Amino acid sequence: MHRRLSTLTVAACAVVVVLAAGSARAADPVVTPPATPEEVPAAVIAAIDAHPSTPGPCALLTRDLREAFAVRELLTHEPVASEPWTEEDVTRLCDDYVAPQPQELKEIGPARVMEASDDAVRLRAQVVRRFDTPRGVLDSSEVVDLYVVREDGAWRLASLTQLLPLDGFIRRAPDTLAAFAAEREERQTFTRRLLRAHARMVRELATVPRPLARATLRCGTGAGAAESGRGDRGRGGTGRTGAPVAHGRRRRPAGMDMVEARLRTGGGRMCWTIQMRGPVADRLAISFVLGQDVGRDDGRTGGWTLWIEDGRAVGLLDRPHGVRRVFAVRASVDGRVVRVVVPARRVREDVRVAAPFGWSAISAMPDADGATRSHGGWVDSLPQLRSLDDLAGIHHVP
């Protein structure tokens, strides 16, 4: 598969990496913004570098930028649930999203005022990035424009563009205050759209899940169904999220440790059968990642997730920006076997089911005490994920 798949598979796999509604910590101490706009960018970079030993950088950002990052963090939480959205909560969620992002060492030079109004300033500064490589440290220098806005009586950064590699915020900054104002309004509109999507998911998850059948369902794919699958083969892909990989089967939760995964397609249906090493866990996510070549150097990918909790099951279609579509599924848990049947039309935006495609299964569950993002849970995969190609490593020919 082409490298383009890597950015798309993040959405398909996010549900199995993040397994709870974030950490509940006390509100961070108040951070005093700098007195002048020129000081703000360097203060933000310093706060990012010092977090979490000191308050995070988001107290130095404008409210709309904090909300833009906070809603993206909110959409990663599993299970999706209604969460408070106070000023303190928005700042906490924003810090959770911004601070852990992979980043290189940065230095920012003095900021110069390029354009100013009563409540907004366009700054220009040189940013130096340092990358550790096997051959030593490499430097990369870039001149960037940054925008600072007066809000609640203080100067706050209103754009992180070109400072951090955050998904959806990697475009070059506008080159005028007027253009920035238009882009800022567009960002606020998009944030409101994501918040509405999250609220819709909360409502749907309260009504859509169906009870699990206790006898294995019939696939109903017809006599000419195509079939593919993979067994564990003794190597296993089970490990910890947020903790070192656990070696040895004795330490792995049997209820999410997959020993076989099979797919049957036909009659407009897709039927997955997953066998665990032990009785199926009461709270479990199984993500099905799909990939398909559409040309020499390109491909398409996507997927969906089966969420099981409290004897009920629901499907979540993975879509960009962490937004997922909730849909009803027919699923059963019979001892060590999970089976789920979905209409093939559910994945038509991701792959053409009538043509050959690849797939993989990833199961995940939280720790018994209710995992948080910082503490992690358990994750397993078939096939074992060693590279991007393994995300669609089981070949299915209809």
In a 13 Å sphere around the CA of 87, the CA atoms on its Cβ side amount to 8
Domain edges within the chain: 31-190, 205-396
pLDDT attached to residue 303: 87
> Is residue 266 a contact partner of residue 226, using CB atoms and an 8 Å limit?
yes
CA distance 380 to 236: 8
Nearest of 181, 149, 172, 173 to residue 66 by alpha carbon = 149
Fold of 31-190: Nuclear Transport Factor 2; Chain: A, (3.10.450)
Q: How far is CA 297 from the centre of its chain?
A: 25
pLDDT attached to residue 234: 56
Residues 312-324: tens digit of each pLDDT = 999 998 777 778 8
Residues 44-92: tens digit of each pLDDT = 988 887 777 677 889 999 999 999 999 989 888 876 788 999 999 999 9
SS3 for 332? strand
Helices H / strands E in the chain, number of each: 5, 19
pLDDT attached to residue 390: 67
Instruction: Collect all residues with Cβ–Cβ distance below 8 Å to 324 and sequence separation of at least 6.
Output: 15, 80, 201, 305, 316, 317, 318
> Is residue 332 a contact partner of residue 273, using CB atoms and an 8 Å limit?
no
Residues 188-232: tens digit of each pLDDT = 999 999 999 999 989 998 899 999 999 999 998 888 899 999 887
pLDDT attached to residue 297: 59
Low-confidence ranges of the chain (pLDDT < 70): 1-31, 53, 79, 100-105, 131-134, 136-137, 165-171, 233-251, 295-298, 367-376, 386-390
